[in-house]
Amino acid sequence: MMQGLAYGSASFAFAPFMRSVQAHAAGNPELMPKRFVFVVKSSGIEKFNLVPDGLENHFLNANTGEKLKNDERRPGPLVDRSLSDLTLPEKLRSLEKFKERMTVIQSLSGKTFKGNHTAGYGALSCHNSEAVAIAPTVDCLLGQHLSTGPYDMFGMAMNGRLLESPGMKPGDSYCYPNLSAAKEGMPVPYQASPRKALVELFGAAIAKPDQIERKLALHGNLMDFLTEDAKRIEAKLSSEDKQRFDLYKESFESLRLKEAKKAQMLPQIKKHAPTATPLYDSINPTDRIASHFEIATSALIAGLTNVITLRPDTLGVKYTSLGITDSVHHLGHLGQNPGLNGKNGFDNRRMVEEVHFENIAKMAEQFGRIPEGDGTMLDNTLIVYMSCTGGDHHNGQTDWPFVLVGGMANKLKMGRYIEYPKYQEKGHRTIGNLYLSLMQAAGMETQDTFGQLDTDLADNDLTGPLHELMAS
């Protein structure tokens, strides 16, 4: 069967399924297609309420029980515990059924990736590049290695700017949230509108065959036209300008290839295309987040991409459906003080994070229902929940938390709570070490380090993956 279909017209459409069949026949789970979902929220993640009950909480004052400031966590040795005999904190309860598939990681640093409210591209590239992309980001690198569909990586965001103007509404066009970059000088645009994302990803499922043919022909004719013009333009450009012009040409060629691949994947796209609902037109942040997760889930199942990055909010977002009328930005400044709804900043931020975890749980459930080899799609998909900044709101890049859900062909140890020694203590590690772990688990060849190194950690081992996370 494999030989008969290898070069058939449907071979590309059924590529994800065929790879699963091959891997199953070979008895090798490492051959399964691997996928990543990065969920990058703004304004940091509260660390003190990620600690399971029963463990010493180094993010609280030992005497008063009050939350410590960003850089004031108490010292302590490496903590590496199974979650099986621990009680999850309240905000992680929606992930209870995935306890054995979840790992919480605390106290990784990224202090050299500076920024006020955000580290920008640095959060995923480990470079000091808040507003300008100077290096490829880990999501794009993984996508270039793993994806066989039209998109190396696809991004969806609430809006482009981090700190929006008062009264902001979710955007309905492409935006640049300063998170992902394919390479230096090539930031990745994110789609803000769920409905437009649906059309872009699954438009082939609703277009007529003649419409697809005309679109492909148009792209082909456009490229023929551009090729001739490009030769004339390049002859008049300096070497530096030629490099910039190459980026423009790449973008046009990329569009043509995307459409051609989607046309070949028509059966697969039709099978897994989500049905548009009124939520896709809602400007309510919780509706918009749910829509993005739904589209992302379908895109991964259909094989349109193997890597998706979601930006669920910005500092200007107000979660009014939760009874929160303060912006995310304002919540970050409240602390113990009450917001407009009477609840303090910590409680409001916990409610926001719970919405994100609930959507992650729903995505994981859907992946867990899809057979793949001897397991499910969830066994080969890793959802990474993180923030674009390490602290709770401003700075605090010495203590960056992550929540991982899923699996990666048993390459990572799941069902753990791992907390590293605090910044500059022996045994402390960085987010660069985590990204090396993810890339190695995905089968990529890596260097000893990733990104810019922190000179204040010269006495610490910054090489290789996180050994406590790697299964072998």
Express each pLDDT in 426-450 by its tens digit: 999 999 999 999 999 999 999 999 9
| Residue 14 and residue 119 in one domain | no
Q: Are 466 and 429 in contact (CB under 8 A)?
A: yes
165: pLDDT confidence band, cut at 50, 70 and 90?
confident
* 102: in domain: yes
Are residue 405 and residue 448 in the same domain, yes or no?
A: yes
pLDDT tens digits for range 61-119: 999 999 998 778 999 999 999 999 999 999 999 999 999 999 999 999 999 888 888 99
Are 150 and 4 in the same domain?
A: no
Q: Please state, in angstroms and rounded to a whole number, the distance separating the CA atoms of residues 364 and 414.
A: 14
Does residue 258 surpass a pLDDT of 80?
A: no
Alpha-carbon distance of 352 to 361, in angstroms, equals 15
Average pLDDT over all residues of the chain: 85
**Number of structural domains in the chain:** 2
Residue 12 has pLDDT above 80, yes or no: no
410 & 313 share domain: yes
Whether residue 9 lies inside any domain: the answer is: yes
Domain assignment present for 302 = no
- Please give the share of the chain, as a percent, with pLDDT higher than 70: 81
pLDDT value of position 19: 56
Q: How far is CA 73 from CA 115, 199, 400, in A?
A: 21, 47, 12
Q: Per-residue pLDDT for 270 more than 70?
A: yes
Indicate if 2 and 119 belong to the same structural domain. no
260: in domain: no
- Using one digit for the tens of pLDDT, what is the confidence trace for 360-395? 999 999 999 998 888 899 999 999 999 999 877 776
Mean pLDDT to the nearest integer, 140-158: 95
At residue 204, the pLDDT reads 60
- pLDDT higher for 39 or 274? 39
Tell me what pLDDT residue 168 has.
77
pLDDT over 90 (residue 156): yes
Asked, for residue 83, whether it belongs to a domain, the answer is yes
Q: Does residue 335 surpass a pLDDT of 70?
A: yes
Same domain, 406 and 435: yes
Residues 6+ apart with CB under 8 A from 437: 412, 465, 466, 469, 470
CATH number, domain with residue 42:
3.40.720
pLDDT of 250 = 58
Residue 144's domain spans which residues?
Answer: 36-184+307-457
Say which residue, 32 or 396, is predicted with more confidence.
32
Q: Are 36 and 382 in contact (CB under 8 A)?
A: yes
Does residue 324 sit within a domain? yes
Q: What is the pLDDT of residue 373?
A: 81
pLDDT for res 227: 56
* 201 located within any domain: no
Lowest mean pLDDT among 37-51, 215-229, 303-317, 347-361: 215-229
| Within a domain: 335 | yes
User: Which of these, 109, 114, 139, lies nearest to 124 by C-alpha position?
Assistant: 139
* 150-164, 286-300, 316-330: the lowest-pLDDT one: 150-164
106 and 152 share one domain = yes
Do 13 and 88 reside in the same domain of the chain?
Answer: no
DSSP-assigned states of every residue in 55-111: S--TTB-TTT-PBPPTT-PPP---EEEESTTSBPPGGGGGGGGGGGGEEEEEEEB-T
Find the range with the poorest average confidence among 13-27, 198-212, 399-413: 13-27
Average confidence (pLDDT) over 295-316: 94
Calpha distance 255→241 (Å, rounded): 22
Residue 310's nearest CA partner among 318, 300, 302, 320 is 300
* Distance, CA of 69 to CA of 73 (rounded, Å): 7
10 pLDDT more than 50: no
Residue-level pLDDT at 71: 79
Same domain as 176, residue 313: yes
**Furthest-apart CA atoms within the chain: distance in Å:** 74
Same domain, 412 and 435: yes
Q: Are 23 and 69 members of one domain?
A: no
Give the model's pLDDT for residue 266: 74
What are the contacts of 278-286 at 24+ separation with CB within 8 A?
279/194, 280/194, 280/195, 280/198, 281/194, 281/195, 283/169, 283/170, 284/320, 284/321, 285/158, 285/170, 285/312, 285/313, 285/317, 285/318, 285/319, 285/320, 285/321, 286/319, 286/321, 286/322, 286/355
| pLDDT given at position 170 | 85
For 47-61, 207-221, 233-247, 438-452, which range has the lowest pLDDT when averaged over its residues? 207-221
Residue type, 75: P
Beta carbons within 10 angstroms of residue 226's beta carbon: 15
Residue 19 and residue 143 in one domain = no
